[in-house]
Homo-oligomer: A and B are copies of this chain.
């Protein structure tokens, strides 16, 4: 498959991982560091070593698995390891993992000695179609997602769909929410194509490629999120709030995509009320997400807490809560401010749904 071209780098689809050798050969790197989490260190790193037996001279950094560890403490751990192992400005950090590894690793690299090179090898569906493209880095703080971060471009992104075999069904389904989202905000035909699948495991490499392509078109046109890029936030205002609440309050918290799926249903209701989304499209969107994600119980009484998180969302200005809302399946508006009462209605709409 032809690499997808961003302004500053390419996204390679390459199950052989040979591209990694080529990218590393382009510069005379003084040191190679690989960042993994406990899971990718066990499941993905051996694959990488097997396919690239020449890559034997690297230092390994491991962080624990899970969104709750995408924080400044583990970021300091990465910085300190780079320092202890004498990473200079010509070192490169390879981030091998899901969004926690790619987001936090790229933030650490972009701020170490004011920026060293990094390369993304996303291993989850979510990070392949979302975190890997667009040059956003970040860590969470005080339950606010990606509140600290930079814009920084990788040397390259290498996607091997072979790594998806290491995922649980639940993780696979989580990532699939962003695939569906790309259809809703930008490509009706693509939405129809993925919405009819029976489950997320059926997603094809061509569909993943097309999903990355959609995101890449958006972020290439608007890298710093002044306009069009905001459409990618569809589902994320309410979704992030639900995700944050769940992370802090539930033993077995929602995964990112699961929360975003809920957010996309609630926000489709707002879109129907404010952005001209038809009742039919609202119904199609709602039923599609219910099919893949089932119904989650948004506990009664947490609405105020959710609104508080929404107010701290990076997209807001002057305390007003801003949304990106589709006006039809395949097209999305942005910078729509929504009153708190209507947001609460959106949550109630979700609660009232049944298949």
Contacts and interface: CB of A to CB of B under 8 A. Distances in A.
A39 interface: no
Contacts of A110: 150
B111 A148 contact: yes
A150 B86 contact: no
**Range of interface residues on A (Cβ < 8 Å):** 35 or more
Given A141-B79, A141-B83, A312-B83, A88 B317 contact: yes
A144 B88 CA distance: 13
Given A76-B72, A136-B114, A314-B114, A319 B149 contact: no
Interface in A69-119: 72, 76, 79-80, 83, 86, 88-90, 110-115
B147 A113 contact: yes
B90 A317 contact: yes
Contacts of A112: 147-148
Contacts of A148: 79, 111-112
Contact of A150 (B30, B80, B114, B136): B114
Given A111-B149, A114-B138, A317 B83 contact: no
A318 interface: yes
Copies in the complex: 2
Contacts of A113: 147, 149, 314
A316 interface: yes
B317 A79 contact: no
A133 to B, nearest CB: 16
Given A83-B141, A142-B83, A88 B149 contact: no
Given A79-B148, A150-B111, A150-B115, A88 B142 contact: no
Nearest to A72: B76
Interface string A200-237: 00000000000000000000000000000000000000
A58 interface: no
Nearest to A82: B147
Given A136-B114, A141-B79, A141-B80, A311 B147 contact: no
A139 to B, nearest CB: 9
A317 B89 contact: yes
Contact of A90 (B30, B146, B318): B318
Nearest to A148: B111
A151 interface: yes
A314 B83 contact: no
Which 9 A-B pairs have CB atoms at the shortest separation, nearest pair first? A113-B314, A114-B149, A30-B318, A88-B317, A90-B317, A111-B148, A88-B316, A30-B317, A114-B151
18 contacts: A72-B76, A79-B147, A80-B141, A83-B142, A83-B147, A86-B312, A88-B314, A88-B316, A88-B318, A90-B317, A90-B318, A111-B148, A112-B147, A113-B149, A114-B137, A114-B150, A115-B150, A150-B150
Given A72-B76, A89-B315, A112-B147, 4 more contacts: A88-B316, A88-B318, A89-B314, A89-B317
Interface of A: 30, 72, 76, 79-80, 83, 86, 88-90, 110-115, 136-138, 141-142, 144, 146-151, 311-312, 314-319
